[in-house]
Structure 1
Amino acid sequence: MNKIKYIIVDDEPIAHRIIEGYCNDLPHLELQEHCYDALQAMQFLNNHRVDLMFLDINMPKLKGFDFLKTLSYPPKVIVTTAYKEFALEGYELNVCDYLLKPFSFERFVKAVNKAVSTTQTASIAPAHKESTNTEKRRFFVKGDKKYHQVDLNDILFIEAFGNYAKLFLRDEMIITHEKISSYEELLPAGQFIRVHKSFMIAVDKINLVEGNRIIIQDHTIPIGQMYKLNVNKLFE
């Protein structure tokens, strides 16, 4: 499984230690460089390609957002800052998430999930688009007091389970600490659809649709009355 290469751009050494420590607990992330100002990051990015950048805003010489505006093909960006008043500008620059210091590991994981599970075509030069689009997208879910790395291609369907959700994969089932509505926001529309108030499925894993039920491997998933239109669109 390909590693996601990242850099940290922050003038505070303690911020580097915290972010790197969190990333060390997510095995699909691989540190490429510690950059302590934007100019150092600019020089590094001129010669190396990375997938993800943790970027502080308030740095000497060149501010974080001013630096970001200079990049023609920026990597995916997670802003890490103590200044919440700049959040709007960050989203206008298409950053993946905006982490307000100090942030918890759980909040950090959510930000990384957003970054690695969404496609940001501007993050790479056009010559590399084909190889990047085929790259498997992954995210982490919390279940059984552990963080499980999940590949989108392994998801069969999701079942609501009170304030939790059951994530059915090719080879296992994980009870996760997220509601099914959270997966509707996280997973790419079109590839995953809601077919019942308690079920969301991976379209490419459907074996057959029969009456008011969907068969995926040896699982039978009901089609809710309110969600029939979602299923019917598959046949258009």
Structure 2
Amino acid sequence: MAIRCFVLDDEPLATDLMQDYIGRLPDLDLIGVCNSPTQGLQMLQQSQADVVFLDIQMPRLTGFDLLRPLGYRPKVIFTTAFREYALDSYEFDVVDFLVKPISFERFLQSVGKIYRFSPNNGAQPDLLQTVSSVREYQYFKVDKEMVKLYLDEIFWIESLKDYVRLHTKSGALVSYLRISYLEEKLPPARFIRIHKSYIISLDHIQALSANYIRINNEEIPIGRNYKAGLDKILQNSH
């Protein structure tokens, strides 16, 4: 059975892009599109969509405001240009948090998470194979080269002032980047800053205590100013 999708964003170009992406996948059925949050609330209540691709910052009604009065809880994929909403989004049944501009590869990652949340939806094997084969990556400047690094290979990132050390499955790499830049670029559903000097991969957490997180048998300290945000994400990930 196809997954029934609804797209709500006040920017027509954004809804056009999501329509295009959804239309490429036969297991997704687009049942509604809206550029008005007030109209979208009524349409969502009537449609009872399985998944909503939802912008957050919209006029008169935010994505958060729209979800609260709904009589049911669809699975939510937030689509926004404002990364700072990531923590607040975990109040809802969040499948993923997409930061604009959204590539088709990143969209496919979200679709894969929909199937993980709903394993018995009858998705076609070829579609699942396509989704599972997509791996997110970024290029990092290492010495005089641009090195391609898959995000699922990264354990954690350590700040070295104007540089960062990337701790990965294949070893450590040093790149000329500030940790604040990577905090903005990395997907917030997969990475979180837990200290002024550390960003960690949520996928690779082995254990945690009040003061540290263990990844790859190493203890990464948790900064006092970052603890509340980390706790919020971990509580909503169960």
* TM-score where L is the length of structure 2: 0.51
**Cα offsets for 1:128-153 (capped at 9, x unmatched):** xxxxx96435663339xx88xxxxxx
Partners of 2:115 and 2:40 in 1: how far apart? 21
Structure 1 residue matching 2:72: 3-state secondary structure:
coil
* Structure 1 gap ranges (5+): 120-132, 148-162, 164-184, 186-236
In structure 1, give the amino acid aligned to 2:122: K
Matches within 5 A, 1:1-236: 2-119=1-118, 135-136=121-122, 140-142=128-130
* AA in 2 matched with 1:92: E
> Separation in 2 of the partners of 1:32 and 1:13?
17
> What is the distance in 2 between the residues matched to 1:42 and 1:94?
17
Question: Higher relative CO (CA 8 A, sep ≥ 6), structure 1 or 2?
Answer: 2
Given that 1:38 and 1:62 are in contact with CA atoms closer than 8 Å, whether structure 2 keeps it comes out as: yes
- Alignment partners' CA distance in 2, 1:105 and 1:111: 10
Residues 85-123 of structure 1 show CA distances to partners (whole Å, capped at 9, x for unaligned) of 00011123231100000021111101111123214xxxx
Structure 2 gap ranges (5+): 135-149, 151-202, 204-238
Kindly indicate whether the alpha-carbon contact (under 8 Å) linking 1:117 and 1:137 is maintained by their aligned counterparts in 2. Answer: no
- The answer to which of 77-86 and 22-31 deviates more is 22-31
* Residues 118 and 137 of structure 1, relative CA distance in 2, 3 Å threshold: farther
Native 8 Å contact 1:109 1:140 kept in 2: no
Kindly indicate whether the alpha-carbon contact (under 8 Å) linking 2:6 and 2:44 is maintained by their aligned counterparts in 1.
no
CA 142–46 in structure 1, closer or farther in 2 if over 3 Å, else same: closer
- Asked if 2 retains the 8 angstrom alpha-carbon contact of 1:97 and 1:111, the reply is yes
Q: Number of residues paired by the alignment?
A: 135
Query: How far apart are 1:74 and its partner, in Å?
Result: 2.0
Q: Answer yes or no: is the 8 Å Cα contact 1:9–1:35 preserved in 2.
A: yes
- Indicate conservation of the 8 Å contact 1:37/1:61, yes or no: no
**Cα deviation digits, residues 5-24 of structure 1 (max 9, x gap):** 11110000000111111111
**Which shifted more, 75-84 or 89-98?**
89-98
Contact 2:2–2:121 (CA under 8 A) maintained in structure 1: no
8 A Cα contact 2:115 2:121, kept in partner: no
For normalisation by structure 1, the TM-score amounts to: 0.51
Q: 1:43 is matched by which residue type in structure 2?
A: Q
The one-letter code of the counterpart of 2:77 is I
Larger-Rg structure: 1
Please give the alpha-carbon distance, in whole angstroms, between the structure 2 residues aligned to 1:48 and 1:23: 17
- Cα RMSD of the aligned pairs, angstroms, is 2.7
Write the deviation string for residues 182-235 of structure 1: whole angstroms up to 9, x where unpaired. xxx7xxxxxxxxxxxxxxxxxxxxxxxxxxxxxxxxxxxxxxxxxxxxxxxxxx
Task: Report the CA distance between 1:68 and its aligned residue.
Answer: 1.1
